[in-house]
């Protein structure tokens, strides 16, 4: 039997990038996956790329994480055993130049949306005394990344939020962990490359090579490599791993 047979997973940002790769990895382990994102057409296309191993009823949920109320009852009643919190990162820039509106908007998109999702899925998990919550954050929770001031701030808040929940939900058989992707070949990385090239006057190739030079592995990650870490933390055998930050960064983060 597949490791996640009979389990239902809700994957946010599931239409592309790390979200879609995570959904594919969970489906390959037998989970029944629901993809959540804002646009229907990319979700439908993404669902077609999900393995059907042990689960023939993969679904989609069209919603904005900033406005979950219209779908909150559906999420509560669906009986999800796994939640993957994953949302696009904010624009770059110096923290000193960010206004309160920017910080509040990103806090809503990440921390408050995550709180709403957890409150919706946890009752089912508690009833079954089993659950997995994995948050896709950033290595910035260990080492702030220059010119990603708002992101550094909110990702750190997400990490503290998750660590607190890990302590509260652990007695119910629910684990809460964070995966910290390094430089990964997604639209987010493309955005960062363009922003750094524009602000520095350097070429995209020079910026890319400079970033790769800081990675001991000598390359950017594939989204599937991050997704395997997500799937590992959702596996039944990972039940004693709780409240951790797991970097998937090719060795770039220098902190322990």
Q: Please compute the mean of the pLDDT values over residues 214-219 and round it to a whole number.
A: 97
Residue 117 domain flag:
yes
Residue 106: CATH number of its domain = 3.40.50.720
Count of structural domains, the chain: 1
Give per-residue burial for 114-148: e unless 16+ CB within 10 Å, then b.
Answer: bebbbebbbebbeeeebbbbbbbbbbbbbbbeeeb
- Structural domain includes residue 25: yes
Q: Domain containing 150: what range? A: 8-183+222-248
Residue 191's pLDDT band (cuts 50, 70, 90): confident
pLDDT tens figures, 18-32: 999 999 999 999 999
213-216: list long-range contacts, CB under 8 Å, 24+ apart. 214/252, 215/182, 215/183, 215/249, 215/250, 215/251, 215/252, 216/250, 216/251, 216/252
Longest dimension (CA), the chain: 55
pLDDT of 256 reads 86
pLDDT of residue 159: 98
Residue 57 scores a pLDDT above 90: no
What residues pair up with 134 in beta bridges, in sequence order? Answer: 84, 177
**DSSP β-ladder status, 245-248 and 82-85:** unpaired
Predicted pLDDT of residue 234: 98
pLDDT digits (tens, 9 = 90+) for 196-208: 899 899 999 999 9
Share of the chain above pLDDT 90, in %: 88
Number of Cβ atoms within 10 Å of the Cβ of 87: 20
Q: Flag whether 85 is in a domain.
A: yes
Residue at 68 is within a domain: yes
Question: Six-digit token pair at 64?
Answer: 């904005």
Residue 213 lies in a domain: no
Residue 242: inside a domain, yes or no?
A: yes
**pTM for this prediction:** 0.95
How confident is the model at residue 47, as a pLDDT? 94
Residue 193's contacts (CB-CB under 8 Å, 6 or more residues apart) are 204, 207, 208, 211
Per-residue model confidence (pLDDT) at position 54: 47
pLDDT tens digits, residue range 108-127?
A: 999 999 999 999 999 999 99
Is 47 within a domain?
yes
The vertex-92 CA angle with 88 and 95, nearest 5°, equals 120
- Mean pLDDT for all residues in the chain: 95
Does some domain include residue 210? no
pLDDT tens for 2-53 read 999 999 999 999 999 999 999 999 999 999 999 999 999 999 999 999 987 5
Task: Tell whether the model's pLDDT for residue 1 goes beyond 70.
Answer: no
Q: What is the mean pLDDT of residues 223-238?
A: 98
């Amino acid at each position: 039997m597949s490791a996640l047979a009979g389990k239902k997973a809700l994957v946010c940002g599931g239409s592309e990038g790390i979200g879609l790769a995570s959904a594919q990895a969970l489906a390959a382990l037998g989970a029944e996956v629901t993809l959540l994102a804002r646009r229907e057409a990319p979700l439908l296309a993404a669902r077609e790329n999900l393995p059907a191993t042990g689960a023939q009823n993969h679904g989609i949920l069209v919603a904005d994480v900033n406005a979950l109320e219209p779908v909150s009852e559906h999420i509560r009643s669906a009986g999800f055993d796994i939640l993957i919190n994953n949302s696009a990162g904010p624009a770059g820039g110096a923290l000193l130049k960010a206004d309160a509106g920017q910080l509040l908007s990103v806090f809503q998109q990440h921390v408050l949306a995550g709180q709403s999702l957890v409150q919706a899925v946890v009752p089912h998990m508690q009833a079954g005394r089993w659950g997995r919550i994995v948050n896709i954050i950033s290595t910035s929770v260990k080492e702030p990344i220059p010119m990603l001031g708002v992101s550094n701030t909110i990702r750190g808040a997400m990490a503290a939020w998750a660590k607190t929940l890990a302590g509260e939900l652990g007695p119910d058989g629910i684990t809460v962990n964070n995966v910290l992707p390094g430089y990964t070949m997604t639209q987010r990385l493309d955005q960062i490359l363009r922003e750094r090239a524009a602000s520095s006057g350097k070429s995209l190739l020079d910026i890319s090579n400079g970033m790769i030079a800081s990675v001991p592995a000598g390359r950017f990650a594939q989204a599937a490599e991050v997704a395997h870490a997500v799937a590992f933390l959702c596996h039944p055998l990972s039940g004693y791993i709780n409240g951790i930050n797991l970097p998937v960064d090719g060795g770039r983060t220098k902190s322990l």
